[in-house]
Amino acid sequence: MKLRVWDLPTRAFHWSLALLVGAAFVTAKLDAYDWHFRIGYALLALVAFRLVWGIVGPRYARFASFVSAPSRALAYLRGAPHPAPGHNPAGAWSVLALLALVGAQAVTGLFTSDDVMASGPLYDAVASGTAEWLGRLHRLNEKLILAVVLLHLAAVTFYGRVKRQPILEAMVTGDAEVAAAAPPARDDWLVRLGALVLLTGCGLGVWWLVEIWAPTLG
Ligand code: HEM
Ligand code: HEM
């Protein structure tokens, strides 16, 4: 039977994240730093949104519903069953890794400079050695993000092709096929409105940081 697992805000978050991470890479390679910065700020707001949504959002989007001990993730990888809807115990850790890496990339970007014409808004707020070090992390983290995203895509392909579990369709439609009855994720218009308010708050927070607070520093 079909069950609503991913609420619309979680799905919209995911596809925006995927699109914007791709766009951040392309704009960096093209030296289009106006757009690279804007996209980076949007990603910062998105990750902040997901962290809060992981606490207040509908049941399967909550960290408490899918994050479990690493030993359970290892047991799952060795074949232990996991019949519950939502992220599996191993996937949960890749979700956390992706969020942490993208979040770290957006934060280090604020301190990064290309030493020619583009400097993040907090570049002058710290000692030049510190900014240099954070910039190096920004360039190094690029490789980590690429590696984890490739692993992510390999896992999604493996589930679809080998295990015949349509997890990709679930991230598009929100519905997953489940064997036993389970409560659906709440996904009504009130929940969606709440998500929009939260996202707007995160966007305003980033705008305040970049446009109001950062210029008062350094
Ligand atoms: C998650 C968001 C971000 C991603 C995925 C990302 C990714 C990248 C990548 C792939 C590069 C190219 C590194 C290279 O080819 O050497 C780069 C460079 C750069 N990024 Fe970001 N970035 C993000 C956010 C930001 C933000 C928010 C800012 C500043 C507001 C920023 C500022 C810069 C600068 C100044 C460079 C040039 C570094 C150099 O020339 O050495 N980035 N970024
Ligand atoms: C076209 C490329 C992509 C596809 C097809 C894809 C597919 C998926 C699928 C099917 C899931 C659900 C996994 C599950 O059922 O447990 C998922 C979750 C996730 N993916 Fe992707 N993904 C893509 C790109 C990306 C990128 C580029 C990122 C970030 C760098 C990313 C980050 C995440 C995160 C954070 C989650 C957890 C979603 C949440 O709970 O909020 N994905 N992805």
Q: Which ligand is nearest to the CA of 123?
A: 1
pLDDT tens-digit readout, 85-113: 999 999 999 999 999 999 999 999 999 99
**pLDDT value for 179:** 84
Q: Which residue has the tokens 């705008």?
A: 207
pLDDT along the chain (218 residues), means of 10: 97 98 98 97 98 98 96 94 92 97 98 93 96 98 98 96 93 94 96 98 98 91
Q: Which ligand is nearest to the CA of 157?
A: 2
Instruction: Tell me the CA end-to-end span of the chain in Å, nearest whole number.
Output: 58
Burial of 95: CB neighbours in 10 Å, binned 0-12, 13-18, 19+: middle
Ligand 2 centre to CA of 4 (Å) is: 17
Report d(CA 14, CA 150) in Å as an integer.
Answer: 16
What ranges do the domains of the chain cover? 2-216
Ligand 1 centre to CA of 96 (Å) is: 21
**pLDDT value for 115:** 87
Q: What letter represents residue 209's amino acid?
A: L
**pLDDT value for 218:** 66
Check if CATH label 1.20.950 holds for domain 2-216.
yes
